[in-house]
Structure formats: structure tokens, C-alpha cells
Amino acid sequence: MDLNYTPEEQAFRAEVRKLVAAILPADISAKVKGGKRLAKDDFVRWQKALHEKGWGATMWPTQFGGTGWSAVQQHIFEEECAEAGAPLQLPFGLKMVAPVIMAFGSKGQQDHFLPRIVDGTDWWCQGYSEPGSGSDLASLKAKAERQGDHYVVNGQKTWNTLGQHADWIFCLVRTSSEGRQQEGISFLLIDMKTPGITVRPIIMNDGEHEINEVWFEDVKVPAQNLVGEENKGWTYAKFLLGHERTGIAGVGRSKAALHHLKDIARTELSYDKPLMEDARFRDRIAQVELELMALEITNMRVLSAEKENKAPGPEASILKIKGSEIQQTIAELQMQALGHYALPWLPEALDADWQGEPVGSAHTAPLSGHYFNYRKTTIYGGSNEIQKNIIAQMILGL
Amino acid sequence: MDFNYTDEQNALRDTLARFIAKDYGFEQRRALAKSDEGFSRDHWKQFAELGLTALPFPDNLGGLGGNAVDTMLVMEAFGRGLVLEPYLATVVVAGHLVRDAGSDAQKEALLPSIAGGELMMALAHFEPGGRYKVSRVDTAAKPKGDGWTLSGAKGVVLSGGAAGKLLVSARTSHEPRDEDGISLFLVERNAPGLTVRSYMTQDGGRAAEIRLNDVAVAADALVGTQHAALPAIERALDYGIAALCAEAVGIMTALNEATLEYLKTRKQFGQPIGRFQALQHRMVDMVIATEQARSMATLAAVKADAPNAAERRRAISAAKAYVGQQARFVGQQAVQLHGGMGVVDELNVSHYFKRLTMINMTFGDADHHLGLFSDMILAA
């Protein structure tokens, strides 16, 4: 038991830092650090840059082109990327559909889709939630009817993140209404260009277009795009939900956010002195830093144990709960640090090429919107209450 | 980083678990707490036979050369057993202090005796009126001949009554709150002018109020550097804090097991109360709090051995604050979920809760250490 980084791990960190600095485009990191709006191209360029260095899908098993890094190395990589101001590698392709295709997909699906995920060719989005099926996901109604060599899909998906950019969507669809509702669900891969698909924006509480409704009207999907077996989709869905473990705690990004919070508290003034000198505010920073220090270790403990036992565990729910709470707390303190300057709303200031004069400081504009937006973190990916149900049932046997 | 224990450490854990299960049952422990001394000298002999009293000392002085992670494993097991023997005071705090600050002669005189189970010691440092401030020492040491005379008062000295020898901090120069000017002295328990008023603590342990009235000590009683003992005292207390964090985690783990079992067996409204979601989520929160506390207790143990004092202090205060907060939550909720059974003396839950609470009040509570940690952010 040793929580000190070994010399090898320190050397690894230095190598990652050097490489990330070399390949991360400066305009992108400036946007990320300034809280500016990111375009599709920013995400894609970063994914392609990583891929060229062989780090496009570091968390994948080696037989599919992953690095085989330890949990500690993966943590170092995520921490360094976040600190450098790299965009998030979006999870929908890399961490969600890819593991399902690896575990349950056909050889043809693996050969076709996986390389296009890692090289940034295909942008994936998720078709899980429906207006009537949120936490009770298995009640979903979007229907796929088999007609010869294809399925015909009808229905509506919602809370679809960044689907306006997507080339492909992975969907849970109902293929049978017999028996338990979990037993009539299938996992389909659908080309977003297929006729009959309509994407409608849902504007979030920060005024931004991040999520969508996706409508399917007689959408023809080749039967070869079914993953695994028909009516076994719920098994794959659970596998996916439990599998997105690396990075679910978001420790690296929260550490970068905490640094930013401290910078803000050192420059914002309260009664003409740095806000950081106000012990009442500083203690709240200290408190969230304690939570984050603990989570950083818990995260690596859980991931290291899983790597050894190879068993996907419900312990990931602990990481999701604490990770999301910490993200929200930091976002809230960033906003709170602004005082009255939390009030101005200048959406135009989030454009990277905006030349106007900021209201407040250079860091002011995105923070309140970020706070509002981040209320999503305890809701998405299985709400934290659902995560607690999972722990109660799967770990505690209640 | 390495998240595994060595084979030796796993063997130590097994040995400790067997000892606690066999010799430290709840009723045995209750009787011991009420005995005159408040602990068992036979247990102490067993600790010596198991090598526990020798754990952190160098091989050439009868020790096993263990590190703070080894101590963590001992304290975690002691938490589950609510162990009463003066291990924290003797081996962890006084033992580390002699190991790290003592002269060769002092180490040779004291460490083999501690390791062999013959000598118990205590650090008499905190004083009435000083609360948790480590540098606040008002007890005075005045030069007399080759030695000194010590006068002052020390409050809530853990295991002070059992100690055959005391380590007493006293001011040899500067003002009561200065970090400089503190020296450390070895004082015999039966030294003329020394009075020890021992009493029971809320958790069944023992502590003492100590008064020094012109207690004469010789030149060779000085431990460490004259006027500059504070860094060594802080380091020894940090070993103590890391150990307390581990003990708390051991207790929280035991409390969670007891509470989970209770949720599965206690029936109301015709079903086990663990079927109710309000209680399920509370139990989950307790488990999460405990795992997070375990991470911080581990960090404290690893960093207790860190050569860099600032790095060590940051981790120790972080852990004491955080573990204290989580222990308070788990302790209070374990009581709550046990209902009336949680507040009675006959069940172990109330005893675990009391010990957790007193751990939080020892060597600085969560608020105190959060403040220290917070001030380090300002200084960074």
C-alpha cells in the first residue's frame, strides 16, 4: 500500500504532459480554459490528434488498440489532459457503444465501427431515455419491427446529448411486448442520415443547445445493425451502464476546476481584499478539496481492484455519486465567487471570436451558466438516487 | 502507487482479526473498561508477543522496522475491538517521538522496553486553556544546576495514569504561543512534585490531569533539541492522528456491518426495515462515507512517514478533518437506524459511537483541522 507515485509513474506523467502540450491545439485549450463554446470540430480535432499518437482509446483492451495502462496511468492521463485544457473525450462512442460492440457485437461490426470511433470519423450519440421512460428505462416504447432484412423503427428518444453532430446513434428499442418488459428490448445501431429521423433541439437552462429530442418515423435499419441477439438488449444496456467506469468520477477534470476556482478566488475582490482571504469562503473550498482528495484515492482503489478481478462492479455507483456532487459543488463555488457579477448573462461572450468588453472579469461570463448546466450531473447516467438503489441492492443485499 | 498489502501485512491483519474475535468480545471489553486500570496487562503481554509493541521501532532496538501503514492495520483492528490498552499513547505517540527525536542513549534505554511490553509511556503536551493549538505551551522549564525544574499543568493526558515514564513539553524560552522555545523532557512517573489525577473517559478509556510543581529533571532528561522540540512533537502527534483515523475507519466498518444486519432482521410494518428506501439510501450514504474515510485514513498513514513536513501536515489535517466528519455521520446514523437499541448501553453500537465521537475530539476536531488545511490553501 503506497499512495506515492513511483519514479516510473512520475516519468510517465512527464511524458504525457509533454506529449499533450505538443499535440493539443492552442485555440482549443484557450476555449476550454476560458469556458467558451466548443464546436464539433474542436472535439474531432482533439480525438484525431490523440489517435495519431496511439492514444485515441487509452482505456480499451489492448486487442482492440487500447494501451493496457494501469488505473493509475489512466488517472494520470486524464489529469494531465484536463489540466492542459483538453476537451473531454466524449464517452458515447469510446466508453459506451464501443465496449458493447467489443463484448457482444459481430466481427463485422467490430471491424467496421471500432476503428472509426477511435480515429474520430464517426460521432456517436445515445438513444436511451424517452419522455415516459427516464429512471424506469426498461419501460421504453420506441418500437422496432422486423420486416425481412431490416427493422422499421418508430418512436421518440430524448435527452440525447450532442446528437445534432452525430453520424450514428445506438438505441434501445422494443422488439417484443411479451413477458417482462426487460426481455423485449434490443440494441440497434442506426445511421443518423437514414430518412425518417428528425433531431429537435432542447435548450438547456444555460441557454445552450446541448441536448435533443430524436424522432423516428418508419426508419429502416438493416438487420445486420442489431447488436447481439434480439430481445437481449437490456443485458447489453446494463453492461454499458456498469462499464463506463474509467473517468466516471471525473477526478482529473474536477482537479482542474478546483485550480480554476482557487484562481478566481484569488482575483475576485471582497471589500478590496482577495476573496481567498475570507476564511468563510476559503473553508468551503477546503471542504470540497477534502472530498476530492478522498475521491481521487477511492477512484483508483476501485479501478485497480476491478482491473485485478475483471469484475465490473456496482462500486462504480459510488464514484458517480461522489464525482457528480463534487463537480456541482465546485461549479457552485465558482459562481458564488463572482458576487453580483454572477448576474450578467452575455451568451455572445461564450464565442471564442467575440471581441467585446467583458462585464466583470475575463473569467466571469461562463460561470453561472455552468452552475445551472451542471445540475444535470446528479441526474444523468442514472440519477444519484438510482445509483443508491443499485448499491443498496447489488452491494448491500437490501 | 500500490493498492495492495504485502503478504506480511495480510498475515498481520489475519492475526489481529483472530485476536479481536477471540479475546476482545463485547462483554469482556465492558468488564475491562470498568476495572481499576481500565485495561488488561495480560493483553499487553500478548501485544508484545505478537510484536505489536515493537512494530515501528528499528530492528537493532528490538523493533520490527514497520511503517505507518502497519500501524494503520493495527489501529483499524483495534477500532473494531474498541481496544482499551494504551497502544496509541505508548507505541504510536511516545514511541515514535523517542524513535525520531531521542538520543541514542534514550532510544536504547526506552525502545527495547516499550517493544518488550515492560514500559508504558505517555506524551503530556496539551494544556488547559490551549485547546488544540500545538504550539501553546505555558508549562515552564527553568534551568537549575545541570538540569531543569518543571512547573505547570497538562490536561487530558491520554493513558497518563498507566505510564511509567512521561514525555513532558515545557517552555525554555519565548512566550506561551511562540513556536520556538519549546523543549521536551523525560519525567519519571514517581518524580517528586508530579501529581497524576487519572480518570475514566467517555469511551471507557483513561486519561489524566497532570500537575508539575518544581519537578527536578537532570540534564540527560532533555529529549531532542533544546528550544526546538515542536517539530518533533508535531510529527509524533501526526502519527497519532493517522492512527486515530485508522481506528475510526475500523469502527465505522464494524458499525456499518451491525447496522446492515439490523436493517435485514428488524421487522416493522410486517417487513424488514431495510426494505424502506429512506433507510436504504441512508445506509448507502454510510457505506460511501466509510469508503471515502478509508481512502483518507490510508493517505494519512502513507504521508505520516513523509520526510517533507508540509506535505505530511497537509495530508494529516485533511484526513483528520474529513474522517472526523464522516465518522460523525456514520456514528450518528448507526444510532438512528438502530432506533432505541442505538442509545442503550447493552449494545455495542452506543460504545462504538462514543469512541468515534471522542476520536474526533482528540488531537484537534474536524473544524480545527479543516481550518489548518484551509489556511494552507491561503499560504500555497
B67 and A CB contact within 8 Å: no
Instruction: Delimit the domains of chain A by residue range.
Output: 7-89, 123-232, 245-395
d(CA A333, CA A272) in angstroms, rounded, equals 19
- Please tell me the distance in Å from A379's CA to the nearest CA on chain B: 16
User: Of B86, B118, B150, which closes a domain?
Assistant: B118
What's the rounded Cα separation, in Å, for the pair B90 and B85? 9
- What is the DSSP secondary structure assignment for residue B270, as one 8-state letter? T
User: Which amino acid, one-letter code, is at B20?
Assistant: I
Q: CA-nearest residue of chain B to A278?
A: B378
Q: Catalytic positions of A, please?
A: 244
Q: Which 248-307 residues of chain B touch chain A by CB within 8 A?
A: 260, 263-264, 274-275, 277, 280-281, 283-285, 287-288, 291-296, 298-299, 301-303
The CA-based diameter of chain A, rounded to the nearest angstrom, is 74
Residues B237 and B319 in one domain: yes
Chain B CB contacts of A304 below 8 Å: 3
Strands (E), B4-159: 121-124, 140-144, 147-158
Is B1 contained in some domain?
A: no
Cell 459481430 locates to A106
Q: Can you say whether the dihedral through the CA atoms of B150, B152, B158, B160 is positive or negative?
A: positive
* Angle, CA of A187, A320 and A202, to the nearest 5°: 60
Same domain, B367 and B293: yes
B104 and B141 assigned to the same domain: no
From B175, B196, B227, the end of a domain falls on: B227
pLDDT tens-place string over residues A208-262: 999 999 999 999 999 999 999 999 999 999 888 877 666 789 999 999 999 999 9
Structural domain includes residue B293 = yes
For chains A and B, what is the number of CB pairs under 8 angstroms?
116
- What is A245-395's CATH number, 3.30.43.10, 1.20.140.10, 1.10.3720.10, 2.60.40.10? 1.20.140.10
Give the Cα-Cα-Cα angle B275, B334, B245 (nearest 5 degrees): 135
The verdict on a CB contact (< 8 Å) between A3 and B298 is yes
Residues B178-233: tens digit of each pLDDT? 999 999 999 999 999 999 999 999 999 999 999 999 999 999 999 999 999 999 99
* B-chain residues near A296 (CB < 8 A): 295
Q: Are residues B242 and B361 in the same domain?
A: yes
Number of domains in chain B: 3
Choosing from B118, B152, B182, the residue where a domain stops is B118
Helix and strand element counts for chain A (H, E): 13, 10
pTM of the model: 0.96
Provide the CATH number for the domain formed by A123-232 in this structure: 2.40.110.10
H or E segment and range at residue B187: strand B182-188
What average pLDDT score do residues A300-306 get? Answer: 85
Evaluate whether residue B348 is within a structural domain. Answer: yes
Q: Do B4 and A1 touch (CB under 8 A)?
A: yes
A5 vs B1, B277, B370: nearest CB: B1
- C-alpha distances in Å from residue A334, one per residue of A212, B257, B324: 27, 39, 26
380 residues of chain B, pLDDT tens digit each: 999 999 999 999 999 999 999 999 999 999 999 999 999 999 999 999 999 999 999 999 999 999 999 999 999 999 999 999 999 999 999 999 999 999 999 999 999 999 999 999 999 999 999 999 999 999 999 999 999 999 999 999 999 999 999 999 999 998 888 999 999 999 999 999 999 999 999 999 999 999 999 999 999 999 999 999 999 999 999 999 999 999 999 999 999 999 999 999 999 999 999 999 999 999 999 999 999 999 999 999 999 999 999 999 999 999 999 999 999 999 999 999 999 999 999 999 999 999 999 999 999 999 999 999 999 999 88
Q: In terms of residue numbers, what domain contains B37?
A: 7-118
Interface of A with B (CB under 8 A): 1-6, 9, 72, 262, 276-277, 279, 282-283, 285-287, 289-291, 293-298, 300-301, 304-305, 318, 321-322, 385, 388-389, 391-392, 395-398
Q: Give the orientation angle of helix A71-84 with respect to helix A7-23, to 10 degrees.
A: 40
Nearest CA in chain B to A3: B1
Here the ipTM equals 0.96
User: Do B102 and B128 fall within a single domain?
Assistant: no
- Burial classification of residue B186, based on how many CB atoms lie within 10 Å of its CB (0-12 exposed, 13-18 middle, 19 or more buried): buried
> From CA B62, how far away is CA B59, in angstroms rounded?
5
In a domain, B2, yes or no: no
In this structure, the answer to whether residues B26 and B163 fall within a common structural domain is no
B51 and B69 together in one domain: yes
Examine residue B203 and state whether it is found in any structural domain, yes or no. yes
- Say what the pLDDT of residue A245 is: 65
Same domain, B151 and B16: no
Q: How many residues does chain B have?
A: 380
In a domain, B85, yes or no: yes
B131 and B112 share one domain: no
DSSP B343: G
Q: Residue A168, SS3?
A: strand
- CATH number for the domain harbouring residue B15: 1.10.540.10
Q: What pLDDT is recorded for position B174?
A: 86
For residues B185 and B300, membership in a common domain is answered with no
In this structure, the answer to whether residues B76 and B136 fall within a common structural domain is no
Residue B32 lies in a domain: yes
Cβ contact B275–A398 (<8 Å): yes
Residues whose CB falls within 8 Å of the CB of residue A120, separated by 6 or more in sequence, listed in order: A44, A45, A47, A48, A51, A56
pLDDT (0 to 100) of residue A75: 93
Q: What angle do CA B163, B189, B247 make, to 5 degrees?
A: 20
Q: CA B332, CA B352: separation in Å to the nearest integer?
A: 10
Cell numbers of B378, please? 491561503
Residues in CB range of A271: below 8 A, 6 or more apart:
none
Q: Band of the pLDDT at A312, cuts 50, 70, 90?
A: low
Identify whether residues B259 and B220 lie together within a single domain.
no
Please state whether beta strands B147-158 and A273-274 pair in parallel, antiparallel, or not at all (unpaired): unpaired
